């Protein structure tokens, strides 16, 4: 029996080793491969396993803490990715009506800068839960209100001193002494200056829609109104002494004052309507108006003309209060001009050839 099984195995081996058996095996393998290939082609292209995507949350939960005590004030939920800081302030105001949106200051981290109203939640969120710190900014007023209050006061106050109201000056002394030409001219120039300010605030300047603390309005009004009263009191006083060089000094200074006022106005108009190249704003360029050619020399010609106006007014009236006011304004505007000059240097590559911020070749 064992021998018979062994012979069958040996016969099968001979059959497999024969050439006919090899060909039949190869044909079977080829048919299997072709059928497998057709199956693959009919199934379409191979698809890779879908990658795991880290999708941002559809809704955010805003936790608002008190910046001083770090205690939770409220939670604003169901905020979309496109929601802004202004939207959060609106919902915060609905929960706490005593805090209007203009006096709500929100920070991403304690001690950090206040977030602008246009910033979206998606741009500051690291997860679906965002923590913001709340600070009460105090009562706020619009920037337009600030400017109108600062400039209307000096205009009206100067006119009161110019009319020599009885409780300001002695009536008898005022009636005995006649006024010099410079007194009338100074009133005219002063009124022109602040009327231009008011009109530009209303119709030229693109005043920010934002707000500022009420204390800034009080400080600005105290500065402008206080100096105007001091200046007007001396110039319109019955014992006021005319300039040393008489009408020549007054006339030349008045003409220079009007030139600087005109230059300041044209520069402000140009800044309100800057040039554009495609979608990128470029640095304001001088045009056919000669008053705008100051841009070739300085970054902030509006400040240059402003200081020129007050220097001319100082020389025309030859009074100490005007000189002190001019000095303080010059210091403040030089700081503003240098700050803007640095911004222009970083923002505009073609601006590097402009050397000065406010005073040509000096500052």
Quick one: pLDDT at residue 43?
47
Minimal CA–CA distance to 325: which of 351, 306, 344? 306
Q: Is the distance from CB of 71 to CB of 65 less than 8 angstroms? A: yes
Q: How far is CA 201 from CA 31, 146, 190, 207, 291, in A?
A: 89, 10, 17, 7, 20
Contact assessment for residue 350 and residue 223, using Cβ atoms and an 8 Å cutoff: no
Cα(206)–Cα(63) distance, integer angstroms: 35
Cα separation, 81 vs 84, whole angstroms = 8
Of 12-21, 229-238, 253-262, the range with the lowest mean pLDDT is 12-21
Residues sharing a CB contact under 8 Å with residue 186, sequence separation 6 or more, in sequence order:
235, 313, 316, 317
Q: Is the pLDDT of residue 250 over 80?
A: yes
Q: Give the start-to-end residue ranges of the domains of the chain.
A: 60-138, 139-241, 242-362
Query: Would you place residue 108 in the very low, low, confident or very high pLDDT band (cuts 50, 70, 90)?
Result: confident
First-residue to last-residue Cα distance in the chain: 120
Q: How confident is the model at residue 182 (pLDDT cuts 50, 70, 90)?
A: very high
What is the phi/psi pair of residue 255, to 5°? -65, -45
Integer Cα distance of 174 and 236 in angstroms: 10
- Ordered DSSP codes for 185-215: HHHHHHHHHHHHHHHHHHHTS---S-EEEHH
Rg (CA), the chain: 40
| Nearest CA among 362, 264, 344, 350 for reference residue 304 | 264
pLDDT tier at 169, thresholds 50, 70, 90: confident
What's the CA gap between 272 and 203, in Å, rounded?
10
Token pair 């609905």: residue: 94
Of 252, 234, 257, 237, nearest to 179 (Cα)? 237
Give me the pLDDT at residue 282, please. 64
Q: Is residue 353's pLDDT more than 70?
A: no
Dist CA 161 CA 182 (whole Å): 15
Which CATH code is given to the segment(s) 60-138?
Answer: 3.10.20.90
Return the pLDDT at 54.
40
76 pLDDT tier (thresholds 50, 70, 90): confident
Is 96 in a helix, a strand, or coil?
coil
pLDDT value of residue 29:
53
Q: How does residue 328 score in pLDDT terms, banded at 50, 70 and 90?
A: very high
Q: Are 150 and 82 in contact (CB under 8 A)?
A: no
Residue 50 confidence (pLDDT) above 50: no
Q: Are 332 and 307 in contact (CB under 8 A)?
A: no
Mean pLDDT of 261-284: 75
Place of tokens 């008190």: 66
Average pLDDT over residues 50-59: 49
Cite the beta strand spans of 67-214 per DSSP E. 72-79, 104-107, 129-136, 140-142, 211-213
Q: What is the pLDDT of residue 80?
A: 82
Strand 72-79 relative to strand 60-66: parallel, antiparallel, unpaired?
antiparallel
Of all residues in the chain, the percent with pLDDT exceeding 90 is 35
Q: Categorize the per-residue pLDDT at 277 as very low, low, confident or very high, splitting at 50, 70 and 90.
A: very low
Structure tokens at 170: 């002695």
Of the two residues 267 and 19, the one the predictor is more confident about is: 267
Report pTM. Answer: 0.74
Lowest-confidence segment of 21-25, 264-268, 281-285 by average pLDDT: 21-25
């Amino acid at each position: 029996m064992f021998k018979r099984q062994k012979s069958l195995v040996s016969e099968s081996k001979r059959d497999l080793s024969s050439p006919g058996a090899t060909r039949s095996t190869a044909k079977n393998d080829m048919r299997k491969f072709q059928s497998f290939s057709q199956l693959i082609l009919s199934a379409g292209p191979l698809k890779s396993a879908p990658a795991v995507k880290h999708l941002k949350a559809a809704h955010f939960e805003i936790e608002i803490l008190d910046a001083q005590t770090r205690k939770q004030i409220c939670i604003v939920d169901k905020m979309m990715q496109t929601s802004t800081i202004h939207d959060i302030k609106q919902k915060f105001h609905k929960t706490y009506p005593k805090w209007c949106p203009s006096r709500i200051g929100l920070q991403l981290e304690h001690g950090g800068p206040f977030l602008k109203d246009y910033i979206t939640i998606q741009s500051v969120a690291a997860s679906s839960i965002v923590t913001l710190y709340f600070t009460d900014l105090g009562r706020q007023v619009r920037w337009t209100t600030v400017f109108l209050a600062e400039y209307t006061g000096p205009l009206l106050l100067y006119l009161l001193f110019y009319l020599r109201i009885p409780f300001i000056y002695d009536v008898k002394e005022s009636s005995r002494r006649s006024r010099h030409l410079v007194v009338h001219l100074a009133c005219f120039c002063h009124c022109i200056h602040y009327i231009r300010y008011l009109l530009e605030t209303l119709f030229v300047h693109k005043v920010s829609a934002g707000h500022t603390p009420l204390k800034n309005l009080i400080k600005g009004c105290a500065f402008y109104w206080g100096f105007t009263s001091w200046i007007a009191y001396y110039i319109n006083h019955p014992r006021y002494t005319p300039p040393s060089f008489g009408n020549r000094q007054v006339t030349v200074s008045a003409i220079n004052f009007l030139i600087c006022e005109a230059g300041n106005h044209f520069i402000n108009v140009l800044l309100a309507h800057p040039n554009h190249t495609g979608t990128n704003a470029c640095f304001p360029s001088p045009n056919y108006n000669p008053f705008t050619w100051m841009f070739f020399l300085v970054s902030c010609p509006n400040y240059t003309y402003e200081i020129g106006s007050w220097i001319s007014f100082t020389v025309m009236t030859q009074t100490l209060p005007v000189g002190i006011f001019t000095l303080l304004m010059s210091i403040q505007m030089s700081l503003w001009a240098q700050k803007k000059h640095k911004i222009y240097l970083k923002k505009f590559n073609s601006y590097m050839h402009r050397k000065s911020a406010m005073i040509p070749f000096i500052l």
